[in-house]
Structure 1
Amino acid sequence: MSGPAPSGPRGNTPGPGAGLSPEEIREVRRRSDKMIGIMLFIIGIFATVVNMTVVTADGIAQQAALAFEQYQIGEYVRPEGLEALGLVGIILHPLNYAIWLYVALKRWQAKKFGGWCAIVGAVIALLLSLTILMIGLMAHPEMIAWVEQGAPMPTPTPTP
């Protein structure tokens, strides 16, 4: 009788080396971080364009008019200064993207991890969009009064 069957492509003989060194593992992780970061920044380009269209003066007005209609707050009237608020959003979104892309590129150039910069930029862009939309909605005294009343939901109409 013979011993146990050899396992693996070389049988029971040891492999060619001891594996990757810590520096090689770090380099593989840096390359993976860079690849994932680049993919996130590519997605971020499209998200930036979408966010820019949402926070334009017309986009804010559409969202506010929809909220007024849905929650039966009253007649929507476009407030003063909405164009300036939209302009702020249009400027800040690409600026946010550019800053975090620059930070990531500098970190990758210094052989540091930088993929997290895309995630931080995305979170800031989300907060920026929400802030601009809330400022645009709160420019209406009717909306403020509705919120002060506890944001009551409209009563649904019975279906026959």
Structure 2
Amino acid sequence: MVPPPEHDPACAVAHGEAAGDGDARTLVAVFASPVADFLLRYGADLGYHGVLVEPDPGRAAAARSSATDVLTASPTDLGGSADVVVTDHHRPELGVVLRDLLRGRARWIGVMGNPRHPGPHVQALAELGVPADDIARVHRPVGLNIGSRTPPEIAVATLAGLLADRNGRPGGFAF
């Protein structure tokens, strides 16, 4: 007879034998975009409370049709369990939104974009007088390198990267 394996809490959760950790988590997607839609949709399945920050009133009104909270200004009361993903690095509001988010206590802040190109957030934040140590808190690129091309794939890669970081893991298949 094979002895039972040691108790593995993650395995018990996966088999429906135990509840998850119950940690309150917030996922803030900045700027309404197809990727933001998938991030918030998939994030809900992962236990995140979704928030969309869209400073443009017209875009914010259009985004309110979803069940996600929509804010037109960066939240200042983010707790240490919030993960923030900026989904469009071409918006003129990029610097101001990031500056305001950096003033909060978000656990993680990242900006999507091609890692082969300089991140425009660095210059935008420097021009606003944001200290270099705060600028360095902004992650780029975001997500796991799985070759994602479509908005749903980008959302999956990003959420997998957030989960890996949250759990202190490198991501990928290395154990």
For Structure 1 versus Structure 2, the TM-score category normalised by the shorter chain is under 0.3
Please identify which structure carries the higher strand content: 2
Q: Report the TM-score when normalising by structure 1.
A: 0.26
Greater RCO structure (CA 8 Å; 6+ sep) = 1
| Higher Cα Rg, which structure | 1
Please identify which structure carries the higher helix content: 1
